[in-house]
Chains A and B, each alone.
Chain A
Amino acid sequence: KQEVTQIPAALSVPEGENLVLNCSFTDSAIYNLQWFRQDPGKGLTSLLLIQSSQREQTSGRLNASLDKSSGRSTLYIAASQPGDSATYLCAAGAPQTGANNLFFGTGTRLTVIP
């Protein structure tokens, strides 16, 4: 069974700092890897999707990388803002069941201090 781990569980940074969130997975045979943002009491918002054949994806101040051989993905946030405060979840997609079932980490709770 795929296990997804996110470290650290919580992170506080001053506004303007660049930061990296880490995600590791145990089974390298993933279909894709997806990063989400979750605000308190809200649903999940998709941030970036990396297919298994890709190495990275970028959207604005966000950049996600994927290294299947080492079982790792990172989410880089440039010039952090207070509005970036949220929980960030990574999820590895498993295709073997005929649907892209996602296995989730427990998230990193980010606080950006003004």
Chain B
Amino acid sequence: NAGVTQTPKFRVLKTGQSMTLLCAQDMNHEYMYWYRQDPGMGLRLIHYSVGEGTTAKGEVPDGYNVSRLKKQNFLLGLESAAPSQTSVYFCASGQVNTGELFFGEGSRLTVL
């Protein structure tokens, strides 16, 4: 029972490089989210999606893009990585009826 799976789990980038984080869920949830977690700041919402083909900005969207081409996948892209984007990124999916969220194991990104 996989739940929410994130790849890759670790990545080191140089400033200016690009990359994509992949999130996959097998629970048939409509809602999906990308959060970042930084020391002393708690988790903050980057982007979210309420269904296939839809995306919306969260609290800290600058420097990131997302796509939800398939219901089960939610991609987070960094076009030109900056050291300020060094963080742990968490993907979550959520049920429409209860609003309960389920999280992946996280992806640790370091930008040098």
Contact = CB atoms under 8 A, between A and B. Distances in A.
Contacts of B106: 41-43
B45 A43 contact: no
Contacts of A36: 103
A49 B105 contact: no
Contact of B42 (A46, A49, A98, A106): A106
A100 B31 contact: yes
Interface string A36-53: 100001111110010100
Contacts of A43: 90, 103-106
Contacts of A99: 31, 33, 48-50, 56, 94
Contacts of B62: none
Interface residues of A, number: 28
B1 interface: no
Interface string B77-112: 000000000000010101000111111111000000
Interface residues of B, number: 27
Contacts of A32: 98-100
Given A43-B90, A97-B56, A99-B48, A49 B102 contact: no
Interface in A19-45: 31-32, 34, 36, 41-45
Quick one: which of A1, A49, A102, A107 has the most chain B CB within 10 A? Answer: A102
Contacts of B56: 97, 99
A41 B37 CA distance: 11
A107 to B, nearest CB: 7
B42 A4 contact: yes
B2 interface: no
Contact of B41 (A34, A97, A102, A106): A106
Interface of B: 31, 33, 35, 40-45, 48-50, 56, 58-59, 90, 92, 94, 98-106
16 contacts: A4-B42, A31-B99, A34-B100, A41-B106, A43-B104, A44-B90, A46-B100, A49-B100, A91-B43, A99-B48, A99-B94, A100-B94, A102-B33, A102-B45, A102-B101, A104-B35
